Amino acid sequence: MTTKSAFSVVGLAHKVCLSAEEQGYTPELLNSLAENSDLFRQLLQVQRGYAEMKLIKHVIDCDANPFVPDGWKVEEHQKGGQLVWDASKVQLYLSDGQKNGKVIEGNKLRKELAGKPVLNANVLDHLLANPHLIPEEWKGKVIFFWGTIYRNSGGCLYVRCLRWGGDRWDWSYGWLDDGWDGFGPVALRAS
């Protein structure tokens, strides 16, 4: 290989990497693609017009019974039908009582959320099972799914949440008797 052709290949690789980054590829995804010759073969078939790709719809059954942690029971579960996941149709809502450094008690926030299209814990669990669906901009926030409220064996009420733990997504919970600040938005179905 001459210097000129080697430079062309390097330039082309750089162009491909820049384009991939614009489309949301991470270095890990590109590395995975490079190591998977079968996937490259399939992409070539698509480019040549011998095959097609189709998007997978992630349908979440928001009417199903939610996951219940050991020792807890479901206090309230707002059913929401079949939800086709589209992160652009989810609003992260903050109460006025959570904005500008304010803190609102969870029980008051619960009353304020009555009648709002809150997402339930089935959505949380689907996202944990499919973390590639979670928007990158949710990192640094603790997203609460108020459509399912739990009671523990001590009688306390809790709402589960989705949070980034530094290397992976996980769930936690907030106690309704506690304060809720601006780092804990509510996941709502946007209209």
Per-residue pLDDT in tens (0 to 9) along the chain, 191 residues:
455 565 687 888 888 888 888 887 888 888 888 887 788 788 888 889 898 988 889 999 999 999 999 999 999 999 999 999 999 999 999 999 999 999 999 999 999 999 999 999 999 999 999 999 999 999 999 999 999 999 999 999 999 999 999 999 999 999 999 999 999 999 999 97
Q: Are residues 148 and 88 in the same domain?
A: yes
Q: Are residues 183 and 148 in the same domain?
A: yes
Q: Are residues 91 and 38 in the same domain?
A: no
Q: Are residues 63 and 42 in the same domain?
A: no
Domain of 84, in residue numbers: 59-189
Task: Report yes or no on 53 lying in a domain.
Answer: no
Q: How far apart are CA 135 and CA 124, in angstroms?
A: 13
Q: How far apart are CA 175 and CA 154, in angstroms?
A: 12
Task: Report yes or no on 149 lying in a domain.
Answer: yes
Q: Are residues 82 and 29 in the same domain?
A: no
Q: Are residues 153 and 130 in the same domain?
A: yes
pLDDT of residue 7: 61
Helix axes 27-34, 3-22, angle to 10 degrees: 120
pLDDT of residue 8: 80
Q: Are residues 63 and 144 in the same domain?
A: yes
pLDDT of residue 179: 94
Q: Tokens 């339930």 appear where?
A: 120
**Helices and strands in the chain, H and E counts:** 5, 10
Task: Report yes or no on 15 lying in a domain.
Answer: yes
What is the 8-class DSSP label of residue 65? P
pLDDT of residue 3: 55
pLDDT of residue 2: 52
Total structural domains in the chain? 2
Residue 78: C-alpha distances to residues 91, 113, 134, 135, 179 (Å):
17, 12, 22, 24, 23
Q: Are residues 85 and 35 in the same domain?
A: no
pLDDT of residue 118: 98
Q: How far apart are CA 184 and CA 168, in angstroms?
A: 18
Task: Report yes or no on 87 lying in a domain.
Answer: yes
Q: Are residues 43 and 67 in the same domain?
A: no
Task: Report yes or no on 52 lying in a domain.
Answer: no
Q: How far apart are CA 154 and CA 28, in angstroms?
A: 44
pLDDT of residue 31: 82
Task: Report yes or no on 54 lying in a domain.
Answer: no
Contact 150, 158 (CB under 8 A): yes
pLDDT of residue 129: 97
Q: Are residues 20 and 69 in the same domain?
A: no
Q: Are residues 42 and 71 in the same domain?
A: no
Task: Report yes or no on 31 lying in a domain.
Answer: yes
Task: Report yes or no on 164 lying in a domain.
Answer: yes
Q: Are residues 38 and 85 in the same domain?
A: no
